[in-house]
Amino acid sequence: MHVIRRLFSWRIANPVLSGLSRSFLWMLVGAFVLSLLLWGSGLEEKDLSLYTYIVHAVAVAFGGLTAGRRASSKGWYKGSLTGLFYGIIVLIIGFLALDSAPSGSDLLWTLAAAAIGALGGMFGVNLQKE
Looking at every residue in the chain, the average pLDDT score rounds to 87
28 contacts 36 by C-beta, under 8 angstroms: no
**Can you give the pTM of this predicted structure?**
0.85
128 contacts 75 by C-beta, under 8 angstroms: no
Residue 73 phi, psi (nearest 5): -155, 175
pLDDT over 90 for what percent of the chain? 50
Q: Is the pLDDT of residue 80 over 80?
A: yes
Nearest residue to 15 via CA among 59, 62, 78, 57: 78
- Express each pLDDT in 89-125 by its tens digit: 999 988 888 877 778 888 899 999 999 999 999 999 9
95 contacts 101 by C-beta, under 8 angstroms: yes
Strand segments, DSSP code E, in 54-111 are: none
Coil/strand/helix, residue 44:
coil
pLDDT of residue 57: 96
pLDDT of residue 1: 57
Q: Is the pLDDT of residue 129 over 80?
A: no
- Express each pLDDT in 13-25 by its tens digit: 788 999 999 999 9
pLDDT of residue 61: 96
130: which DSSP letter? -
Q: At what angle do helices 104-125 and 75-98 cross, to 10 degrees?
A: 150
